[in-house]
Amino acid sequence: MRVKIALWGISLLWLWLCISVANEPRASGATYALMGIAPIAALIGWEWLRIKRQDGAKAELLRLLSLPDGQGYVHAKAGSGIAVDPKGKRVALIQGGVGKAYAYADVREWQWVQETAAEIRHSSVSMQLAATGQNIKAAIDASRATGFFVTVRDIDHPVWRVEMTAKADQARWMEIMRQEINESAGAAA
């Protein structure tokens, strides 16, 4: 999330800079306006593709469980997701365009991990600019290590990562899994 905010901030700053320079008498206004709009257009396109991936992941999860929209529990974000069908006692997972459905008995464990990145700060402007790249990389690495992880009985794909950054969503899914899978196992025994 911080990376997205930083990218939007940089793009808006770039747009402001290009518009400021375009007001100079010797500058070509159309060229600078185009330079300023390009990063904004790229970010809008990126956001549109992210939403399309999320919708595609949700549709695939519902298809794997043969669930109509609005039934069961579904979470999809950034091309990954999890769905639980309480009636069919199955869990569907999707990550990186690959999806599978599992019976409750095949789910071994689940956990959520919340990673935060350390930030490098310097008093000099030049050193802080140099550290910005490292800070962005650390934020991306922390984001990749954050999520809801489900371990299943599957040789080809034993651990699934569902992108889930909000603590409220993580707590909700921990409780869904406890109630559905643990109570189902207790009822079967």
Q: What is the pLDDT of residues 77-120, one digit of tens each?
A: 888 999 999 999 999 999 988 999 999 999 999 998 877 776 77
Q: 35 vs 149, which has greater pLDDT? A: 149
How far does CA 178 lie from the centroid of its chain? 23
Both tokens of residue 123?
A: 């008093």
Q: What pTM was estimated for this model as a whole?
A: 0.68
Domain count along the chain = 1
86 lies in which domain range? 2-188
Q: Which of 86, 111, 81 is nearest to 98 (CA)?
A: 81
- Predicted confidence at residue 32, as pLDDT, reads 60
Residues in CB range of 130: below 8 A, 6 or more apart: 122
pLDDT digits (tens, 9 = 90+) for 51-71: 777 777 888 888 999 988 888
